């Protein structure tokens, strides 16, 4: 696991120096451009190791580097509105992973925007709204070969979230936007049962709203395959609140 950096410029400067060594290892850079703290959560796929204890805090304009092992796959999301005691126990308003600062392999409670990455000879990555939305996230590759384009949801979906999908705090502010599957739990919205294939599970008014706001993110289980991006030999910048 890399060290914390005061800002992104310092981190990218270090990457340029490291790039000249002739030794390549994929690096994830998690960068918080939000005006508030974000507590990233990291959940590995089955059989893969936990990175950075599965969670930590990023202050505004703070970045952290993580070097995953070859072949790693998993998901990264942002928690916000968190409060933890000295033992790392507490709660997050969105994306909570069981009341722990360090998720240690546990996933985040939906709704949460997910950055999903699988490393290999060819890397696959996407940003998914299938579990709903809480924070804007973007994945941008650096270096690499292949398609290597940006993936993400940079719009604030909380501003346009339909009332039936809204998650509000005690003050009545919208903190997150549920997916239709999470809100209604029907086969049509969850792509299960007779809807469990791309021919029968089609876009709905809710998934179209997500897709129109975030065309470079998955809006439902069988969304546009172009939402999944491939690249080889790249580092990845994962930014919370990219704009």
3-state SS of 110-136 is CCCCEEEEECCCCEEEEEECCCCECCC
pLDDT in tens, 119-168: 999 999 999 999 999 999 999 999 899 989 999 999 999 999 999 999 99
Percent of all residues in the chain with a pLDDT value above 90, rounded to a whole number = 86
Measured over the CA atoms of residue 89, residue 91, residue 95 and residue 98, the dihedral's sign is positive
Mean pLDDT of the chain: 91
Domains, the chain, with CATH or none = 4-155+217-240 (2.60.110.10)
- Strands 137-145, 123-128: pairing is unpaired
16 vs 24, more confident: 24
What is the CA angle 25-31-37, rounded to 5? 140
What SS3 class is residue 30?
Answer: strand
Residue-level pLDDT at 224: 79
Q: Is the pLDDT score of 13 beyond 70? A: no
Q: What is the Cα 13 distance to its own chain's centre?
A: 24
β-strands 229-240, 28-32 pairing: parallel
pLDDT digits (tens, 9 = 90+) for 42-61: 999 999 999 999 999 999 99
Hey, CA dihedral for 220, 221, 223, 225, is it positive or negative?
Answer: positive
Using CA of residue 98, residue 238, residue 223, residue 184, what is the dihedral sign? Answer: positive
Asked whether 28 and 239 are in contact (CB, 8 A), the reply is no
Q: What's the pLDDT at 36?
A: 97
User: Does 27 have pLDDT greater than 50?
Assistant: yes
SS3 89: strand
Classify 190 as helix, strand or coil.
Answer: helix
State the pLDDT at residue 243.
84
Query: What pLDDT score does 24 carry?
Result: 65
pLDDT at 226: 74
- What is the pTM assigned to this prediction? 0.89
Q: Taking 50 as the threshold, does the pLDDT of residue 5 lie above it?
A: no
| 104-131: average pLDDT | 97
Alpha-carbon distances of 49 from 52, 68, 124, 137, 196, rounded to whole Å: 10, 9, 18, 23, 30
Name the CA radius of gyration of the chain, rounded.
18
Tokens 């703290």: give the residue.
Answer: 37
Whether pLDDT at 14 is above 50: no
């Amino acid at each position: 696991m890399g060290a914390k950096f005061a800002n992104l410029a310092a981190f990218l400067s270090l990457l340029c120096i490291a790039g000249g060594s002739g030794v390549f290892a994929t690096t994830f850079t998690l960068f918080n451009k939000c005006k508030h703290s974000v507590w990233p959560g990291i959940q590995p796929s089955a059989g893969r190791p936990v990175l950075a204890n599965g969670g930590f805090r990023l202050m505004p304009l703070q970045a952290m580097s993580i070097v995953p092992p070859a072949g790693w796959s998993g998901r990264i999301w942002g928690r916000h509105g968190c409060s933890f005691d000295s033992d790392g126990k507490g709660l997050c308003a969105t994306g909570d992973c069981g009341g722990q600062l360090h998720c240690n392999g546990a996933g985040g409670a939906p709704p949460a925007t997910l950055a999903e990455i699988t490393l290999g000879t060819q890397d696959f990555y996407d940003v998914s709204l299938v579990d709903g939305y809480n924070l804007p996230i973007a994945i941008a590759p650096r270096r690499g070969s292949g398609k290597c384009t940006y993936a993400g949801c940079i719009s604030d979906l909380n501003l346009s979230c339909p009332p039936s999908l809204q998650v509000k705090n005690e003050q009545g502010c919208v903190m997150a936007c549920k997916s239709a599957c999470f809100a209604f739990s029907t086969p049509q919205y969850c792509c299960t049962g007779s809807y469990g294939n791309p021919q029968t599970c089609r876009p709905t008014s809710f998934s179209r709203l997500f897709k129109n706001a975030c065309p470079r993110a998955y809006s439902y289980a069988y969304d546009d395959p172009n939402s999944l991006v491939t690249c080889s030999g790249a580092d990845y910048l994962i930014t919370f609140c990219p704009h």
